[in-house]
A = this chain, B = another copy of it.
Amino acid sequence: MKDLPLSKVYQLLEPGPVVLLTTARNGRANVMTMSWHMMVEFEPPLVACVVSPADYSYAALRAMKECVIAIPAVDLASKIVEVGNCSGRDVDKFEAFHLTQIAAERVAPPLIGECFANLECKAVDTRLVNKFGLFVLEVVKAGIDPIQMNPKTVHHRGFGEFVVDGETIRLKSKMP
């Protein structure tokens, strides 16, 4: 992974791709599929996400306050679904789905080698966790895989229907 300036992180998440979220606790890593996330601030980049108490990852994220948001390209679509279809309670998903753990620099949960971007995150606000499972995270380090050029991401429409990135249009905008 090559360093990505933190000021560019929002460009990866603002379009709303399905992502993978890794956590770690007691020396064991887990990964879940997640679509409920949004940017909260440009820089330092803050991200909100929802992890339900029904998700096995919830306890680890809540206790350790660290995670990695890994962004898969469309070629990983079947793995995205496999990861979402089972629980870390029952399965070592990294082993089962041949996902490569790479040590992160600033947090304990691993990066995912197959993903084109990995964002190391620490939870900075947990006030809405009890009521909504809503965590506010700060991205403390970001990396991209320079080998994966112009990766297309996927967006979940429900029940395993995904829309893949299509054409790009450029309009004169004052918005960052």
CB within 8 Å of B: which residues of A? Answer: 10-11, 14-17, 33, 35-41, 46, 48-50, 74, 77-78, 81, 84-85, 125, 127-128, 131-134, 136, 152, 154-176
A38 and B41 contact, CB distance less than 8 A: no
B132 and A171 contact, CB distance less than 8 A: no
A73 to chain B, nearest CB (A): 13
A125 and B136 contact, CB distance less than 8 A: no
Closest to A175 in B: B84
A156 and B15 contact, CB distance less than 8 A: yes
CA distance A125 to B15 in the complex (A): 25
B38 and A49 contact, CB distance less than 8 A: yes
B168 and A163 contact, CB distance less than 8 A: yes
Cβ-neighbour of A77 out of B15, B33, B169 (below 8 A): B169
A93 to chain B, nearest CB (A): 14
A81 to chain B, nearest CB (A): 5
Closest to A38 in B: B38
A144 to chain B, nearest CB (A): 14
Considering the complex of A and B, which 5 residue pairs feature the smallest CB-CB distances, nearest first? A16-B16, A166-B166, A160-B173, A15-B155, A38-B38
